[in-house]
C-alpha cells in the first residue's frame, strides 16, 4: 500500500471534507479481507479475542440486517495488516495536520442486499472521551460500489457546519437524514449536497471527523462490504472526566495517556511506530504470551 496524497487531494479534503481514491488496497487484499469477513461475522476469531463491538449474530439476527464489527483488528491479524498499516497512518496524519496518527477504532461493515441504512452522523461527535476529538478516517470498499447500492454518502463541505450531538439512530434508522437536515438548517444550508461514493473494490476515501455521512439501503443484488480505519492524532489523550462507554475500559487509573497496546501509533513524522505492531501484523505475536 502506498498512498500518495497530491497537493490537490489535500486541498479537496479540506474543501469538501473527504477525498476519494480509485485504489487504496490491491485486489488480492480485497479477496483476503472478504474471506476474513466470512470468519469474523461467523464469530470465528483468528487471535482468540472478541472484537470490542459486534452488532450482528448469525443465529440471532435477520440475514438482511446491516452488520458491523468494531475493532476487528484485535481479533484478526489479517484485518490488522490493513487498518494498522503505516501508510494509512501517514495519510490520516497528513490530512489531519498531525505529527502522527493512532488508531481510534476500525469498523467492518457488511450490508447485504436489502440491508438497512446507516444514520447520518459526525464521527467526532462520539469522541468526547478523548482530547482532542479530531479524527480522519480511511473508508475502503470491498465490493464495487454503485449509486443506490448503499455506499457511504458524504455531505459535501459539512465538516464546516460545526459540532452536533451524536445521531440518535445509527443502526437501521427510520429517517437516516433527519439529524443531518437539522444541522444543515442551523448552518443556514438550504440544499445539502449528497455525494454517494462510487469506487471499484479496493478504492475508497478519507473523510474528516466532522463531516456528515451515512448510507442508504442497499438496493443492489450484491453485498456492500467495507472496512474503515478511524485515526486520531498520535498526541491524543483520554479526557480526564468524560467516559466513553466502551473505550474508557482501556484507560489506566490516574493516567490520561492512551495505551499503545489498544490505541497503537501507526505512523509518526519522526519515524516512530508502536514497536509491537509489525510483529503483530506478521502474526509473530498475539494477545497470549509475552
Ligand X SMILES: O=C(O)CCC(=O)C(=O)O
Residue numbers at the binding site for ligand X (CB under 6 A): 107, 109, 118, 123, 137, 139, 152, 213-215, 226, 228
Report how far residue 174's alpha carbon sits from residue 252's, in angstroms, rounded to the nearest whole number. Answer: 39
Q: Of the two residues 65 and 215, which places its CB atom closer to ligand X in the complex?
A: 215
Q: Of the two residues 173 and 264, which places its CB atom closer to ligand X in the complex?
A: 173
Q: Of the two residues 159 and 213, which places its CB atom closer to ligand X in the complex?
A: 213
Q: Of the two residues 29 and 226, which places its CB atom closer to ligand X in the complex?
A: 226
Q: Please choose, from the candidates 17, 249, 201, the residue with its C-alpha nearest in 3D space to the C-alpha of residue 123.
A: 17
Residue nearest to ligand X (CB): 215
Q: Of the two residues 118 and 180, which places its CB atom closer to ligand X in the complex?
A: 118
> Shortest distance, CB of residue 207 to ligand X, whole angstroms?
7
> Shortest distance, CB of residue 228 to ligand X, whole angstroms?
4
> Shortest distance, CB of residue 159 to ligand X, whole angstroms?
13
Q: Of the two residues 107 and 133, which places its CB atom closer to ligand X in the complex?
A: 107
> Shortest distance, CB of residue 257 to ligand X, whole angstroms?
25
> Shortest distance, CB of residue 150 to ligand X, whole angstroms?
7
> Shortest distance, CB of residue 185 to ligand X, whole angstroms?
22
Amino acid at each position: 500500500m502506498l498512498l500518495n496524497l497530491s497537493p490537490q487531494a489535500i486541498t479537496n479534503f479540506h474543501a469538501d471534507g473527504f477525498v476519494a481514491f480509485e485504489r487504496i488496497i490491491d485486489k488480492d487484499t480485497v479477496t483476503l479481507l472478504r474471506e476474513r469477513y466470512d470468519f469474523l461475522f461467523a464469530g470465528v476469531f483468528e487471535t482468540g479475542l472478541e472484537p470490542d463491538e459486534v452488532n450482528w449474530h448469525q443465529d440471532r439476527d435477520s440475514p438482511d440486517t446491516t452488520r458491523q464489527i468494531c475493532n476487528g483488528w484485535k481479533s484478526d491479524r489479517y484485518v490488522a495488516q490493513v487498518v494498522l498499516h503505516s501508510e494509512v497512518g501517514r495519510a490520516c496524519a497528513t490530512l489531519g495536520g498531525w505529527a502522527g496518527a493512532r488508531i481510534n477504532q476500525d469498523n467492518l461493515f457488511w450490508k447485504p442486499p436489502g440491508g438497512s441504512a446507516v444514520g447520518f452522523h459526525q464521527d467526532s461527535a462520539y469522541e468526547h472521551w478523548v482530547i482532542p476529538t479530531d479524527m480522519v478516517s480511511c473508508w475502503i470498499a470491498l465490493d464495487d460500489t454503485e449509486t443506490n447500492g448503499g455506499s457511504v454518502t458524504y455531505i459535501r463541505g459539512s465538516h464546516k457546519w460545526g459540532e452536533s450531538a451524536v445521531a440518535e439512530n445509527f443502526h437501521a434508522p427510520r429517517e437516516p437524514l433527519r439529524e443531518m437536515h437539522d444541522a444543515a438548517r442551523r448552518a443556514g444550508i438550504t440544499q445539502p449536497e449528497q455525494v454517494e461514493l462510487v469506487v471499484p473494490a479496493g478504492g475508497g476515501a478519507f473523510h474528516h471527523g466532522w463531516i456528515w455521512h451515512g448510507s442508504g439501503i442497499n438496493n443492489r443484488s450484491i453485498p456492500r462490504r467495507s472496512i474503515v480505519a478511524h485515526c486520531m492524532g498520535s498526541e491524543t489523550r483520554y479526557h480526564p472526566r468524560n467516559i466513553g462507554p466502551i473505550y474508557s475500559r482501556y484507560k489506566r487509573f490516574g493516567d490520561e495517556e492512551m495505551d499503545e497496546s489498544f490505541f497503537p501509533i501507526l505512523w509518526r513524522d519522526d519515524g516512530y511506530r508502536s514497536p509491537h505492531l509489525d510483529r503483530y501484523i506478521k502474526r509473530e505475536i498475539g494477545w497470549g504470551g509475552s
